């Protein structure tokens, strides 16, 4: 979350995310992401380095898949990689397997990097929504719309935001809405990282351009009525410090997939 000026609130916020229960730790609901920024002139060399790194992972027989995404809008000289969902223990095993290839990455890729950031994403199924008749749950989308949410630095903001998203999910389920998204809490992304993000998949630009019909707020209004829908919209808006979004395209050439997968 954003920096909180009160030391007491900071301590409470930190203590609330420093550990998970044993049951939570065993759930494969954690995704690790890396985002790289490269200079335009370095793209070709950088992509060659990623392929060399992936070859190393294959030689080490890593069983952990890394999906690669190129940023289609926003800063288009950015690349993102995501591994998951796995358990927390899987990331310990991944770290051990990757030690040899980390040397390759530092040698081959680092010289072409402008910067790199990383974070963990915790999937929140109760705040996500997929229609019951959705046929492509396991399909790899060609495009994903990524929406970041930075909340105001208050306890009330977090509660208002998540309660609002929960009501949107309830409305979507009640109406059989055709939209589809996955909701994540961001953990350990540093001070400038967003608090939450939503991923919405699309099979192509035509589907992205069309969007869901009706749109999310029209769907909410249809279920709750205009007055309650407007109040819900305002409650969520009032909890937010900033919202941004961009579109990523799946990059198969830079993706690492274990042999046979």
- Using a cut of 0.85, tell me whether the model's pTM lies above it: yes
Q: How confident is the model at residue 14 (pLDDT cuts 50, 70, 90)?
A: very low
Tell me whether residue 228 is in a domain. yes
Tell me whether residue 200 is in a domain. yes
Tell me whether residue 60 is in a domain. yes
Domain count, the chain: 1
Is 70 exceeded by the pLDDT of residue 197?
A: yes
- Domain of residue 200, residue span: 27-250
Report phi then psi at 112, rounded to 5: -105, 0
Q: What pLDDT, on the 0 to 100 scale, is given for residue 13?
A: 35
Minimum mean pLDDT range among 53-57, 104-108, 127-131, 134-138? 134-138
Tell me whether residue 261 is in a domain. no
Q: What pLDDT, on the 0 to 100 scale, is given for residue 5?
A: 30
Tokens of 75: 């800063």
Q: What pLDDT, on the 0 to 100 scale, is given for residue 16?
A: 38
Task: Please indicate whether residue 11 or residue 141 has the higher confidence score (pLDDT).
Answer: 141
CATH (domain of 34): 3.30.70.100
Tokens of 124: 């929140």
Tell me whether residue 151 is in a domain. yes
Tell me whether residue 14 is in a domain. no
């Amino acid at each position: 979350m954003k920096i909180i000026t009160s030391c007491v609130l900071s301590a409470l916020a930190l203590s609330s995310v420093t550990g998970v229960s044993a049951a939570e730790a065993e759930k494969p609901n954690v995704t690790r992401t890396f985002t790289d920024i490269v200079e335009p002139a370095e793209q070709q060399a950088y992509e060659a380095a990623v392929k060399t790194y992936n070859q190393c992972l294959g030689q080490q027989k890593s069983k952990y898949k890394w999906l690669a995404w190129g940023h289609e809008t926003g800063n288009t000289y950015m690349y993102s990689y995501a591994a998951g969902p796995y358990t927390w223990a899987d990331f310990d095993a991944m770290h051990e397997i990757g030690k040899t290839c980390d040397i390759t990455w530092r040698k081959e890729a680092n010289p072409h990097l402008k910067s790199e950031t990383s974070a963990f994403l915790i999937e929140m199924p109760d705040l996500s929504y997929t229609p019951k008749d959705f046929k492509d749950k396991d399909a790899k989308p060609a495009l994903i719309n990524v929406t970041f949410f930075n909340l105001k630095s208050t306890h009330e903001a977090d509660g208002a935001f998540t309660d609002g998203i929960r009501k949107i999910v309830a409305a979507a389920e009640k109406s059989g809405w055709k939209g589809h998204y996955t909701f994540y809490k961001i953990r350990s992304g540093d001070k400038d990282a967003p608090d939450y993000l939503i991923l919405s998949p699309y099979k192509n630009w035509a589907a992205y351009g069309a969007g869901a019909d009706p749109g999310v707020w029209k769907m909410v209004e249809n279920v709750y009525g205009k007055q309650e829908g407007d109040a819900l919209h305002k409650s969520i808006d009032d909890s937010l410090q900033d919202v941004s979004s961009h579109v990523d395209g799946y990059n198969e050439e830079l993706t690492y997939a274990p042999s046979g997968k």
